Amino acid sequence: MPTKKIPAKTVAKTPAKKASSLKPAKKVAAKKSDAGTPLSVVIRRRIEAQKARFHANDNISKFIQPGELEGLVDEVAEKMQAVLESLVIDTESDHNTKNTSQRVAKMFVKEVFNGRYIEQPTLTKFPNVSRLNELMIIGPITVRSACSHHLCPIMGRIWIGVLPSKESALIGLSKYSRLTEWVMCRPQIQEEAVVELADMLEKKIKPIGVAIVMDADHFCMQWRGVKDLDSKMVNSVMRGAFLKDSNLRREFLSLLDKR
């Protein structure tokens, strides 16, 4: 009998010591404590623990673990179903809205707002072997976003001007589109979106100058409110040489007029 009790005590003590010192054990314990907690709350707690921001136009991909996006879609679908019911829509007998909650949830998480939930696209850089330092213009790049005030669509175009230095890194043309889409696929206001895009390009390419012009239709003005179908918003961000050199800025803007 004594020989049977001693191993039992040893086994009971050993996990207690490991649980207090090993990180994997802590993660398992955290998952158990999260049982029954909505996934959105779990993700929110991770973000708050790091004192990070999670505004509508922030990327939170580093706080989302593999496989959790599907769970997030299911949670959003459940809450979207409650919205439809509060709008007094009979989703049981109306064949058109029977699975609308699931479709909308998938659209928000995996399509129109997926710039919040996926990592930044990998940008392949090339050395500036030819030491190029002439103006390059990329665009128009089609923009699909949504205003963070009403979640109404923002549809438009972006032009990017880059003046590389002889030491700048060069990226493939398709990467400008991918990075633009990643930034824009979030609830946004246009004024902040173009600034964020300019910041990223400056950081990645390190050019002499970056210029961005965005021209977009805002459905929060055309679909609701004043319902003005002809209203657009055009704004620009000029950095480095584009801000200091009026001739360069004029050349960039004049070339856009011809497109």
pLDDT for the residue 23: 37
Can you give the pLDDT at residue 259? 64
pLDDT digits (tens, 9 = 90+) for 197-248: 999 999 988 899 999 999 999 999 999 988 898 889 999 999 999 999 999 9
Tens digits of per-residue pLDDT, 54-67?
999 999 999 999 99
Task: State the DSSP string of the chain.
Answer: -HHHHHHHHHHHHHHHHHHHH-HHHHHHHHHHHTTTS-HHHHHHHHHHHTT----TT---GGG--TTHHHHHHHHHHHHHHHHHHHTT--TTT-TTSTTHHHHHHHHIIIIITGGGTSPPPP--EEE-TT---S-EEEEEEEEEEEETTT--EEEEEEEEEEE--TT-EEE-HHHHHHHHHHHHSSEE-HHHHHHHHHHHHHHHH--SEEEEEEEEEEHHHHTSTT--TT--EEEEEEEEHHHH-HHHHHHHHHHHHT-
The model's pLDDT over 177-197, given as tens digits with 9 standing for 90+, comes to 999 999 999 999 999 999 999
Both tokens of residue 179? 């990075």
Q: For the chain, give the percent of residues with pLDDT over 70.
A: 85
Instruction: Answer yes or no: is pLDDT of 1 > 70.
Output: no
Q: What is the pLDDT of residue 169?
A: 81
State the pLDDT at residue 31. 57
pTM of the model: 0.81
The whole-angstrom separation of Cα 165 and Cα 247 is: 17
